[in-house]
Amino acid sequence: MNFNHRPWLLLALLTPLAAQALESDAKEPIYVDSDTATYDDQKGIAIYTGNVHSVQGSLVTDSDQMTVYLNQGKIDKIFGVGNPVHIVQTQEEGKGTIDATSLKAEYYPNEHRLILIDNAIVLQSGNIYKSDRIEYDTQNSVAVAGESTSSKKRVHTIIGPKSSDPAAQPAPAPAPATSPAKKR
């Protein structure tokens, strides 16, 4: 089974702004480590369970479970679950990193759609975005944050001051109630 497909950039496309991840990451092989791995050729499903850690270039993801759905040998959907799912990726030179977490992440490569669900937090360039749901159109770089079915849920954003020197960017303030950083 060949997992070296561009759709694995699913987690690289987490940025709710139009920041660019390193283009070279797509050309790198994907390394996946987990406690267990199961592949069902009849159903076209690969399941990685327990301390799932994947690396593709500068893209690093950690989750408790990752399920890859294949249709005729191509990735159709990737579903990650964690406490939390944690994604970190280096952006273009001088633009820092993207650090994102959520309890669930879904990626539909054919639809160019990424969905972060439950306690979604994205830290980028000194800014913090927090919502129960962040949906991202990876083709058009358009993000929609917030629960579309409820007006009671709020989107929280902290916009940090801009500096011409990326190294001079202040550290982001801690996100309310939960922290997006998880060390494994």
- What is the tens place of the pLDDT at every residue in 11-67? 333 333 334 455 666 566 678 899 999 999 999 999 999 999 988 778 788 999 999
Q: Which amino acid is at 111?
A: E
Residue 176 within a domain: no
Residue 180 within a domain: no
Contact between 11 and 102 under an 8 Å Cβ cutoff? The reply is: no
What CATH number is given to the structural domain containing 53? 2.60.450.10
Can you read off the two tokens belonging to residue 129?
């975005």
Residue 51 within a domain: yes
Residue 37 within a domain: yes
pTM given for the model: 0.67
Nearest to 134 by CA among 1, 13, 26, 9: 13
- Report how many domains make up the chain: 1
Residue 78 within a domain: yes
pLDDT digits (tens, 9 = 90+) for 129-184: 899 998 876 556 566 788 765 556 788 778 878 665 555 555 554 544 444 444 44
* Domain region containing 120: 6-168
pLDDT digits (tens, 9 = 90+) for 39-52: 999 999 999 999 99
Cβ neighbors of 126 (< 8 A, separation 6 or more) are 159, 160, 161, 162, 169, 170, 171, 172
